[in-house]
Amino acid sequence: MTAPAAEVQKAIHAALSADTGVLALLGSARIYDHAPPDVSFPYITFGRTSIYDWSTGTESGTEQLLTLHVWSKGRGKKEAHVLVEAIGQRLNDAELALEGHALVNLRLEYSEVRFDEDQSVHHGLLRFRAVTEPSA
């Protein structure tokens, strides 16, 4: 059985890669665990994932707090804001299929867009909370 956090990431990648609205905003399926050198903007990367035991006295489960990053060199923050909104709409409360696990819920907890002076890019962050339990 694979780790639930790995399954959640795989399902999110598949959902975003299949979303025509997100793909149109990106220009292609530029969704990475780690972006390759010389990648075209805009793109999405997976960031930090924190995993917590969410088991009860009768059921086991995990809670994952995971971060998606949006990277844009568009003029102003508009491109980053539009991408953050599209990703949030696609994933918040999404029903995603996981192998070996069941997704209880996936909720957008937080998002922001800021300018990163060091890299001269607009940087969007989305933090999601996913709760999973083993499949029967």
Query: What pLDDT is recorded for position 102?
Result: 95
Could you tell me what percent of the chain has a pLDDT over 70? 99
Tens of pLDDT, residue by residue over 67-121, are 999 999 998 999 999 999 999 999 999 999 999 999 999 999 999 999 999 889 9
Beta carbons of 117 and 111 less than 8 angstroms apart:
no
Give the range of the structural domain holding residue 71, as residue numbers without chain letter: 4-134
Query: What pLDDT is recorded for position 21?
Result: 97
User: 0.85 cut: is pTM over it?
Assistant: yes
CATH number at residue 115: 3.30.2000.30
Report how many domains make up the chain: 1
